[in-house]
Amino acid sequence: MKRYLAVFGLIGLLYAPAAAIAADLKLVVLGDSLSAGYQLAAGEGFPEQLQRALDERGHSVEVVNAGVSGDTTSGGLSRLDWSVGPDADAVIVELGANDALRGLPPETTRSNLTEITKRLNERGVEVLIAGMLAPRNLGADYAEAFDPIYGDVAGEFGALYYPFFLDGVALDPDLNLADGIHPNADGVAVIVDRILPTVEALLDKAKSS
């Protein structure tokens, strides 16, 4: 009986998904609905599609979905310690879209992202900051204050920087849900394809550190 169980256990390991087998690195996606898979079927969200892309490229990494729909940078900061565990090697910070949609003060967004990145930096966790752009209906002054936040924070802490998380997807009806805001599965695939080189650079930093 033990021999049969051992054989079945071996078969299970051979056919288990790559993420289910102990990976060398853990990558956490700390985000909002844009990365959490809002209204998408299982396996269609950003963390899941990113996991498959990294698996296909031979990376030994587990991608963890720590996205919460509706979250602001304040929410991300308040849950940082339990969303990003002590075993995390790298984090993609994708927050701020809801700050802008609600017209929250850009200085608040800057302060929260700075504190998030600072804490992760102090823990020795490598960070990739995924930028966001303010809706243009909020006016030029708001956009001028909001848009540079991400690059500034990344530069301050030596974090990697991807200028616009929705690059190639925003405002394209074929790549978004009916609300025109959240990417559909095809839109997520575009995001993953475009951000993948920067994510691979993040993993390289995590390995070397």
User: Is 71:98 a contact under the CB 8 Å cutoff?
Assistant: yes
At 14, phi and psi to the nearest 5? -65, -35
Assigned token pair, 4:
């049969």
Q: What's the rounded Cα separation, in Å, for the pair 24 and 187? A: 29
The total of other beta-carbon atoms located within 10 Å of residue 123's CB is 13
Q: What's the rounded Cα separation, in Å, for the pair 112 and 142? A: 17
Assigned token pair, 104:
């929250």
Q: What's the rounded Cα separation, in Å, for the pair 174 and 144? A: 29
Positions marked catalytic: 33, 179, 182
